[in-house]
Amino acid sequence: VHTFNSSATFTITTVGFLGTVNYLVVAGGGGGGGTGAGGGGAGGFRTNGAYSHTVTAQAYSITVGNGGIGRNMTTVGDDGGDSIFDTITSTGGGGGGSSNTSSGANGGSGGAESAAAGHGTGTVGQGNDGGQGSTDAATYSAGGGGGGAGAVGSNSSSGTGGTGGAGTASSITGSSVTYAGGGGGGTQRNGYSAGTGGNGGGGAGGSNAQNGTTGIDNLGGGGGGAGDLTYTGGDGGDGVVIIRYKFQN
């Protein structure tokens, strides 16, 4: 099993095994947005689940996507970077929406909406949509949860931030690990609860005078949305590429 936590080269000098590999390619998570903001979407999650991808004796360039930067004020979080192995590309997670002016971005999983501007959509086969945002009676905004590989992000409700969508488990390393959880939504008003991050590395949202929490690196989790104006959404977590192969006896 070869685990790439950053970009590198996977070199096969001779095909002295079955000639097929099992892969897991997870992109970088999206950053959380600013001001009662939506959580960032998880990085795209792709795996073949079996020894079915054919390789030859050559050098394969491995790209591991970085997590998107979290933002403040009325700025959408940055999208995560794509992760690539051979012909397999996982799309970076969409950045979380900000305030009530900017929608969450599309991505491997979509970034969540802050209030009324729209949520990001996930890529089919890689992730899910972000959740919807809301405002309370005093027009304080709260963000939905970013989409995860295994579930859509939760909608916010009555000013309370939405929970990030759950990730998906893989046992490619020999033990079960959950990857690509969405970031939780932030809430602008003091005393309201921010959303928790999705299982699989999603960062929690910030409540009022708090920053969003950063997604976990090498799980591709989305960053949590920010609380009030001057606070910052969490960065998305970096992705990972894992390649497993079986020796031919």
* CB half-sphere exposure, 243, CA atoms < 13 A: 22
Tell whether pTM > 0.85. Answer: yes
Q: What is the mean pLDDT of the chain?
A: 93
Rounded to whole angstroms, how far apart are CA atoms 191 and 171?
A: 40
Q: What does the pLDDT read at residue 16?
A: 66
Share of the chain above pLDDT 90, in %: 79
- Phi, psi torsion values for 157, nearest 5 degrees: -145, 125
Q: Given a cut of 70, is residue 115 above it in pLDDT?
A: yes
Q: What does the pLDDT read at residue 135?
A: 85
Rounded to whole angstroms, how far apart are CA atoms 219 and 202?
A: 9
- Is residue 213 within 8 A of residue 221, CB to CB? The reply is no
Beta bridge partners of 192: none
Q: What does the pLDDT read at residue 248?
A: 61
Q: What does the pLDDT read at residue 214?
A: 98
Beta bridge partners of 9: 61
For 182-227, write each residue's pLDDT tens digit.
Answer: 999 999 988 899 999 999 999 999 999 999 999 999 999 999 999 9
Helix (H) or strand (E) holding 240: strand 240-247
Residue 247 CB: number of other CB atoms within 10 A? 7
- Is residue 14 within 8 A of residue 57, CB to CB? The reply is yes
For 161-189, write each residue's pLDDT tens digit.
Answer: 999 999 999 999 999 999 999 999 999 98
Q: What does the pLDDT read at residue 17?
A: 64
Q: What does the pLDDT read at residue 18?
A: 67
